[in-house]
Structure 1
Amino acid sequence: MRFSTLPRLWRFVLIGSLALNLAVAGVVLGQVFDGPDRDRGPRMGGPAAPLVRALDKPDRQALVDDLRAGPRGPRGRGLESVLEALRAIPFDPEALQIAFAEARRIGDARVARTEAALIDRLTQMSPEARDAYADRLAKSFRRPR
């Protein structure tokens, strides 16, 4: 029996089944290639991300908890200013430049807080733990992404 001679409902069922099978295969392959030893923990982006990811899971979680407990900056405010400047009619390049500078200032303050919290966390570690951290950090820079 040819696919074109199947009733319309059966065609949709077969296509849906194929899509579901491909999705399941993608999840399975993603888990296989991601590796079982991949440490799952809080995700953090930005320039300090590799430094934070190299911490072991308890230290990373403690660092994230410390950052969350501290004062919070105006999250998203820098992006809002950029969007406002982009949508302004008439467009004002100087306003966009000011918005970029504000977003950069907010991002720099966030990076500085992360670095300070990381230094505090590393100060509390034993020399052996810092050495292991340095090894993980070096390995993360050698690993292809």
Structure 2
Amino acid sequence: MVDDPVAPGKVPQPKGLGLKGRGMQVALALSVTLNLIVAGLVGGAMLRGPHGPEGKDREFSFGPFSDAMEPAERKALRKDILQRAPGLGQMRQEMRANMDKVVAALRAEPFDPVALTTVMEAQQARLTGQISVGSQALRDFLLTMDTAHRHAFADRLEDRLKHKDKH
């Protein structure tokens, strides 16, 4: 006779492959928290306005790449991005509306994790599209440089990276 601990008609469940009860709630809370932090950082940067402390466009900042660009280059890249995606001008309004939906989902009773996830996935899709447009424009900008310009840009980029490492 075979010693079978599983009752007839029940499928054995592998142990250690799932979260139940409190563990699932903690995992969901951590996931939502992380997503909100990312959304808050991105959304906050977008909602603050177009200009950073030095008057640079925040909406079109590429970190050290932007820092290494001449003002005319940043302006040309911004123009290129706006031509590639003319709808980016509505970005702040959409981000604000999206954050309002996040707040509403967080306050809803009963709380609906699916509604929150849906809002955040839509936000992520929009941001991914914006990042793609910006990345393509930056790549095309870099590809158009002649050798001397490319080397000078690489020098400025390296200087900015070294400077940031010191701070």
Q: Matched residue pairs, number?
A: 106
- When the two structures are superposed, what TM-score results if normalisation uses the length of structure 1? 0.60
The corresponding residue for 2:63 is: 49
Contiguous gaps of at least 5 residues in structure 2: 1-53
Whole-Å separation in 1 of the counterparts to 2:55 and 2:80:
15
Whole-Å separation in 2 of the counterparts to 1:89 and 1:71:
38
SS in 2 for 1:72: helix
CA drift of 1:47 comes to: 7.8
Moved more, 43-52 or 56-65: 43-52
The corresponding residue for 1:71 is: 86
CA drift of 1:72 comes to: 1.7
**Residue deviations 1:93-128, cap 9 Å, x none?**
222122222222111111111111111211221111
Q: Does 1:99 align with 2:119?
A: yes
Residues 103 and 46 of structure 1, relative CA distance in 2, 3 Å threshold: farther
Residues 72 and 114 of structure 1, relative CA distance in 2, 3 Å threshold: same
Q: Any residues of structure 2 matched to 1:85-124 within 5 Å, and which?
A: 85-124=105-144
- When the two structures are superposed, what TM-score results if normalisation uses the length of structure 2? 0.53
Residues 80 and 132 of structure 1, relative CA distance in 2, 3 Å threshold: farther
The corresponding residue for 1:3 is: none
**Residue deviations 1:119-140, cap 9 Å, x none?**
1211221111111112222222
Whole-Å separation in 2 of the counterparts to 1:46 and 1:63:
8
